[in-house]
Each structure stands twice: as structure tokens, then as C-alpha cells.
């Protein structure tokens, strides 16, 4: 039987966080919140595996497969309508174990020291919760917008996660709360209502919970993703010529020129640009987001794909500083169309045209490109985190 199993709760909807990417898949330092939360538990020797609880509508999504592939993950399961129900489902999926550690995916910066302290106290007392002292004066609202009284903050503590418990205690407490129609706000409260004593251990003010966008920005700054958080990415794409295809370069059509073979519109300029941007933001490549062969992207204009990439970057807190593109081709000549291409590229990415550099060179008859078999483009992108000073 396992000594400890971890349960990372990531089944919330993140309404206050907003954006099109679920909060638990937002990134800090190139890693998702889920990745960091899982690692904080799985890295401890006492924890033999971690169950991740996701929203039901994400279970069949590719993201669930990515989570299942994280080191230490035992299973990925669908959550319930409430946090206690999600925790109960996670504990059940963990299988036989003596103790469980329940951690919020929204707390990606918990330290090893806090996790170890919770593990030690749980082994000794049966249940433990990390807490921090309240430093501000606390007022109780009388319900009508006036102060009813001032509370003694010396006895107050703010609870964090992970929270540890004997597995049988927690199952019993959650089941009892469910029968009685009570919805505890955390595992410690469920245990308290069941008559169990929960030990308090020192938490960490840096173990912040990501609720809103401002919390994510603050967490990024803690990891040094501040004013000089610049990242560079490179991209390269090449397509051979194909009969019966229109030629599109940088979002601009070139009537009368042979087009390029490809599943979408085969715009090598925008393809190289998107790969450079995704690479700089550690968000994969265009093949992962727009798989070749997927019927949704057959003949798709790359300007539309670029708008989607720009959205991904914005959701991840990444801003495009500048993009430099070099077209490698014997033909067509782009000098007269370069400004139109720069404008189309900038427009699809939602940036100023002055942030897009574009030039072209021939191959002097050398190699396949020099023989005129196709066109290639190489790109370099510079990005920074939102709010950085550049």
C-alpha cells in the first residue's frame, strides 16, 4: 500500500481568471500551473504518485493526455460539481494508500519545505494544513457595509495547500459532509466537522493562489519574468512548387505565379513566423496546433492561423517585440509587395507594422531552391512577457 498519494485539484472553471485557455494550463516559466503543482508533490520521496482532477469537458481533450504524460501522474479523472466531490473522486482514483496530499493546481509555487512539513505533520498527527499568519487588522462586516467588530488576528490563520490527511479520515469526512449537505471549503474544514484534529504547520507567503490575471503576473515576477524577460525563437519552413495552386506569401496573393504544395495555403512566410513565435513562447509548433491532414485546415488561410497563434501568445502573457523574416527564393520578386506583406503579417498578429522586418534573397542557382523547385523562409522572433519594459 502506498504511504502517500497526491491529488491535484484542477477541476474549476476559472471564471475570474478569464481568457480562452483554462487557468490550470496557463504557463509560468514555460510550464503550466498543473505541471508545477504535480511536480511539487511527485518530487517528494514519500509520494508514490499523483491523481489530477480536471473538468469533465477536458477529459477527452488533448490536454488531458498531456497531463497524463507528466512524470508521477497515476491517473487523470473528471471532477464533480463541487470541490469536495472532486477531491473525493481524486482520492478514489488514487487506489489504496495510507495518506493523501490534496493540492490546488492554482498554487504552482509551493516550496519543497512546505510540502515536507505537511508530510511530516500528517504522519505524526493524522492530518495537517499549512497556514500563514494574518498581518492586517481584520474587520467583521455587519452585513450592511459597516464594521461589526475587530477580530483578534493573533488567533487567525490563512490556509494553504497541500493539505494532508489519513486517507480513511478524509474519505469518512467528505462522505459525512455530503450526507449532511455541507460543502466544506477545504479538506481541513471537512476533517474538523468530522471531529478530527488538524495540525497547523508553517506555510509560505510565496505559496500564492492564482485566481485572477494579476495573480499570474505577480507569480511570473517572482520567477524573474519581469522587466527583462525576453525570449528568442526561430522558425523555418519550405514548400515545393505545385501546379494548380495560388501563391500566397505573407498573407498576400501573387497572381500568375505558381503556388506551393501544402495542406493549408502553404504560406511559408507566415508558417516560419508562427513557428518562431510559438518557439519563443515555449508553446510547441504549428504542426502540434494545426496538424497536417486535419480537414479543418485544408486550404486554410495562414492569416487566420496566425491570428489564433497571436491569441495563444496573449493568453500566455506573451507580447511580440519584433519579427524578422528572410524569404529564400529565386522568384517571385517581392520588393514591390514587401510593405503589403508586412502589413498583412502585422495585421494577422495584432502588432504594429514597424515590428515586422522582411527581406528576400536568392540562392544564386545553388541547390533545390536555387533551381527554383520551391520557396523557403526563415524567421527570428523576439517576445517578452506582458508588462515587460522593452
Low-confidence ranges of the chain (pLDDT < 50): 227, 387-390
d(CA 118, CA 204): 12
The reported pLDDT for the residue numbered 270 is 97
d(CA 61, CA 140): 44
**Phi/psi of residue 51, nearest 5 degrees:** -100, 135
**Phi/psi of residue 99, nearest 5 degrees:** -135, 155
The label of the residue with cell 488533448 reads 62
The reported pLDDT for the residue numbered 389 is 33
The reported pLDDT for the residue numbered 16 is 61
Model pLDDT for residues 127-179, shown as the tens digit of each residue: 999 999 999 999 999 999 999 999 999 999 999 999 999 999 999 999 999 99
- Label each residue of 124-144 as H, E or C: HHCEEEEEEECCCCEEEECCC
The reported pLDDT for the residue numbered 20 is 60
**The C-alpha cell that represents 377 in the structure block:** 523562409
pTM above 0.75, yes or no: no
Question: Which residues fall within 8 angstroms of residue 83, CB to CB, at 6 or more apart?
Answer: 9, 11, 12, 183, 185, 186
Amino acid at each position: 500500500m502506498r504511504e502517500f498519494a497526491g491529488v491535484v485539484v484542477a477541476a474549476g472553471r476559472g471564471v475570474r481568471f478569464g481568457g480562452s485557455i483554462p487557468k490550470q494550463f496557463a504557463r509560468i516559466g514555460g510550464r503550466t500551473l498543473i505541471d508545477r503543482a504535480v511536480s511539487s508533490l511527485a518530487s517528494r520521496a514519500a509520494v508514490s504518485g499523483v491523481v489530477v482532477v480536471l473538468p469533465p469537458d477536458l477529459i477527452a481533450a488533448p490536454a488531458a493526455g498531456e497531463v497524463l504524460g507528466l512524470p508521477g501522474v497515476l491517473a487523470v479523472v473528471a471532477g464533480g460539481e463541487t470541490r469536495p466531490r472532486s477531491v473525493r473522486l481524486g482520492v478514489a482514483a488514487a487506489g489504496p494508500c495510507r495518506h493523501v496530499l490534496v493540492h490546488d493546481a492554482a498554487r504552482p509555487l509551493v516550496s519543497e519545505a512546505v510540502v515536507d512539513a505537511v508530510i511530516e505533520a500528517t504522519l505524526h498527527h493524522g492530518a495537517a494544513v499549512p497556514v500563514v499568519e494574518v498581518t492586517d487588522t481584520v474587520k467583521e462586516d455587519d452585513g450592511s457595509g459597516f464594521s461589526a467588530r475587530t477580530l483578534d488576528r493573533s488567533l487567525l490563520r490563512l490556509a494553504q495547500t497541500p493539505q494532508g490527511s489519513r486517507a480513511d479520515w478524509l474519505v469518512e469526512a467528505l462522505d459525512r459532509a455530503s450526507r449532511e449537505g455541507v460543502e466544506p471549503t477545504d479538506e481541513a474544514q471537512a476533517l474538523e466537522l468530522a471531529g478530527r484534529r488538524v495540525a497547523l504547520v508553517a506555510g509560505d507567503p510565496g505559496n500564492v493562489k492564482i485566481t485572477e490575471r494579476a495573480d499570474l503576473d505577480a507569480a511570473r515576477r517572482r520567477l524573474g519574468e519581469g522587466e527583462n524577460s525576453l525570449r528568442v525563437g526561430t522558425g523555418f519552413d519550405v514548400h515545393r512548387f505545385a501546379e494548380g495552386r495560388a501563391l500566397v506569401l505573407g498573407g498576400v496573393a501573387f497572381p500568375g505565379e505558381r503556388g506551393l504544395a501544402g495542406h493549408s495555403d502553404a504560406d511559408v512566410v507566415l508558417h516560419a513566423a508562427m513557428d518562431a513565435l510559438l518557439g519563443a513562447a515555449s508553446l510547441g509548433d504549428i504542426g502540434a496546433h494545426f496538424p497536417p491532414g486535419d480537414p479543418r485546415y485544408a486550404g486554410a488561410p495562414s492569416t487566420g492561423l496566425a491570428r489564433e497563434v497571436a491569441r495563444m501568445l496573449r493568453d500566455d502573457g506573451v507580447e511580440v517585440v519584433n519579427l524578422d523574416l528572410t524569404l529564400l527564393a529565386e522568384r517571385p520578386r517581392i520588393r514591390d509587395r514587401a510593405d503589403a506583406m508586412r502589413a498583412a503579417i502585422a495585421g494577422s498578429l495584432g502588432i504594429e507594422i514597424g515590428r515586422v522586418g522582411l527581406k528576400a534573397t536568392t540562392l544564386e542557382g545553388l541547390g533545390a531552391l536555387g533551381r527554383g523547385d520551391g520557396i523557403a523562409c526563415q524567421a527570428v522572433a523576439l517576445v517578452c512577457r506582458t508588462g515587460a519594459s522593452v
